[in-house]
Structure 1
């Protein structure tokens, strides 16, 4: 049996299992282990899964994963994140579309605290969305704002998705996180520009808050500003030593987790319930990602042993005679298609064993490609019919937000994301300048 046919059988079996509702790590790991046993028998087949587990256990940077997730859940469960929205509400309510702009700012900061898009979606849908609707904001526009803003969670550091990519692509997590900073802020700025221009053209979409609502003594405003900026201070305390080279990434993640815990204690919000919820959710998310990484490593090891990556490379470059850029664009399109029915982690572990080595063989930078992959996942999150964020919003939105509203809200924001993707593809230094600068110094 040819290597191409074996690879096709592995992928088709895995996709069939996923379509039947099996867990991602279960489907991928099962196919990897069974294929290893059939190909190499008892002597070599058992070693693949064991070697993948040992590689995972020895990967020291993986310790950042539970630290950052715990930090995000502490800030969320203790309601410190709620203070952010109150700050934006008061300070930006006097602008046309100001609350929508403030919501994008909220999403950026939530992303910097948690690293997961679902956290931003939950806070935006439960805190920001009702306030925006109550104040006469257009429901379609603000629904799109929250979906697009929450997708920044997988791009802005400390992105959990980039940790997973780093493990599979064998790239430094710190470089990938730094590479996501400028593209993430650029995309947020593009969202804000779109909101501002649209509300300037049609003020009814984002009305200014009344003077009564904005009336607040300056002392109270400053107090609210200090409370709202606390998560920013925690993030700065965590990242500054790392950027300066004083601490490792793991040490900085521990600083962030401790700082969040201390902040919740000092504000009197670290109750037993908050602590238990934070630990339980951190454990659940961390274990899920570790199982996925383990399955992906085993799956990738089988492909390395088959030589399937070289076969795919020859197919594209020699038989079909495609240029590297055409191959890269086809990869991104395949991610968008898969994103209509899979989440980001599933997409990555399914195709990473093929795509990541192929990208390296074509001469592209793997850190840069990690950012391209992440932006493409953001687009896939919001692409009908089964975009991940579309159904999250439907589950969390109030009854007056219909599925038609949710689908109709995302078109302009998807276009903005596509524009950002094209810019990062055309100008790789948008992603690579910051990590190159920091690591060079």
Structure 2
């Protein structure tokens, strides 16, 4: 059997297992280990063992549980609720202001949590009922919350970028810095879209009643205190890191400790909050570690087969495609896979093939990591099986149907595609900040 046929068989077996509902790390790891044993006998065991040792020796992996802990601590302690009230008062008088405030909350939550599910949970449980009660169009605001929550995988500290850095062997700090400007740009594009649409269709977002807009300046200033703690946490975490005072792992520890102290200051550090935070942190951290281990083993088998070189030869020599054509095809393939798989599964499946190809084409792997992440944001909301679509259906009130959720994402997918095109056309949007800090 040829190596090409073996590679196709591995991919097809893995896809069948994923479609049947098997866990991502179980499907990928099982196929990788079985293929290694069949190809190399008892020596194939060394691949999984070597991947395990490589994972345990990777020092930046310590950041993963720290940032997850920080995000869940801020969420469970109710600090996110205070943030929404602050944005509600300050942006309420603007037409579409509550939707804009929701995007603002999502940006702040993203800067304190590396997962989109946290932002979606907060938006669906806190912001969505309030927006519907105020008479906002349910289709528009459902799209706002879904799109805003995807910022969690782009704005640092992004867990997805940690996984990409592990597989692509790229510095996590540079990847996080590369995500800052594209993340803020994407949030700005969302806000511009909301403002323009609400100006053209005022019935979608009624202005707050006059009595609710008449909030004293003293009250507004007092509510600003809700944003002080999150901003201090972000400064202590990322500011000290960018100034070179703390290392990446040290900054994650500072973030986790700061979030715990913030909950204590607010008087919300109860046993229940601590228990839920630790339980969820342990579950998510273990899941990601198993996924990384499976990805490393799968990639090692592919390296041994020479499949990476075969893919390069196929695209460059046989098809005769140019570098940019290949990059565009890669992004389209991510969007297609995103209809059926989550971001982690996509990364694990194709990164061992795509990353060497991107390197061979002499593109910057930091820049490509941002392209991949933005494409994942779009794929999160792509029917029929976009990750955020079903999460929103599970959390939304009964009056928001699945058809409403599907209709809500179309304009935001277009906006995000424009953002992706901008980062592709102008790589410095992603690379300027890492170059300034690290002198790359």
Fold shared, TM-score > 0.5 on shorter chain: yes
Map 1:51-66 to 2 at 5 A.
51-66=50-65
Query: Does the 8 A contact of 1:84 with 1:229 survive in 2?
Result: no
C-alpha displacement of 1:328: 1.1
2:46 alignment partner in structure 1: 47
C-alpha displacement of 1:204: 1.5
How far, CA to CA, are the matches of 2:301 and 2:207 in structure 1? 58
How far, CA to CA, are the matches of 2:295 and 2:405 in structure 1? 33
Map 1:170-185 to 2 at 5 A.
170-185=169-184
Query: Which runs of at least 4 in structure 1 moved beyond 6 Å after TM superposition?
Result: none
Query: Does the 8 A contact of 1:49 with 1:298 survive in 2?
Result: yes
How far, CA to CA, are the matches of 1:396 and 1:288 in structure 2? 22
How far, CA to CA, are the matches of 2:19 and 2:116 in structure 1? 23
C-alpha displacement of 1:215: 2.9
Write out per-residue CA displacement over residues 266-303 of structure 1, whole angstroms, 9 at most, x where no aligned residue.
11000000000000000000000000000000000111
How far, CA to CA, are the matches of 1:164 and 1:186 in structure 2? 23
Map 1:347-386 to 2 at 5 A.
347-386=346-385
1:4 alignment partner in structure 2: 4
The alignment partner of 1:194 has SS state of helix
**Structure 1 alignment gaps of length 5 or more:** none
2:34 alignment partner in structure 1: 34
Instruction: Give the TM-score taking structure 2 as reference length.
Output: 0.99
How far, CA to CA, are the matches of 2:439 and 2:323 in structure 1? 28
Query: Does the 8 A contact of 1:148 with 1:410 survive in 2?
Result: yes
Q: Does 1:321 pair with 2:312?
A: no
1:424 alignment partner in structure 2: 423
The alignment partner of 2:435 has SS state of helix
Query: Does the 8 A contact of 1:104 with 1:146 survive in 2?
Result: yes
Map 1:53-202 to 2 at 5 A.
53-202=52-201
How far, CA to CA, are the matches of 2:324 and 2:227 in structure 1? 44
2:220 alignment partner in structure 1: 221
How far, CA to CA, are the matches of 1:231 and 1:376 in structure 2? 28
C-alpha displacement of 1:216: 2.9
1:412 alignment partner in structure 2: 411
How far, CA to CA, are the matches of 2:335 and 2:228 in structure 1? 35
Map 1:291-310 to 2 at 5 A.
291-310=290-309
Query: Does the 8 A contact of 1:85 with 1:228 survive in 2?
Result: no
C-alpha displacement of 1:218: 2.5
Query: Does the 8 A contact of 1:86 with 1:228 survive in 2?
Result: no
Query: Does the 8 A contact of 1:176 with 1:367 survive in 2?
Result: yes
Q: State the superposition RMSD in angstroms.
A: 0.9
C-alpha displacement of 1:329: 0.9
C-alpha displacement of 1:228: 2.9
C-alpha displacement of 1:217: 3.0
C-alpha displacement of 1:324: 1.4
C-alpha displacement of 1:137: 0.7
How far, CA to CA, are the matches of 1:47 and 1:364 in structure 2? 32
C-alpha displacement of 1:38: 1.1
Write out per-residue CA displacement over residues 220-278 of structure 1, whole angstroms, 9 at most, x where no aligned residue.
22121112332122111111110011110000010011011001111100000000000
Number of residue equivalences:
440
The alignment partner of 2:157 has SS state of coil
Query: Does the 8 A contact of 1:138 with 1:206 survive in 2?
Result: yes
Query: Does the 8 A contact of 1:309 with 1:357 survive in 2?
Result: yes
The alignment partner of 2:207 has SS state of coil
The alignment partner of 2:383 has SS state of coil
1:21 alignment partner in structure 2: 21
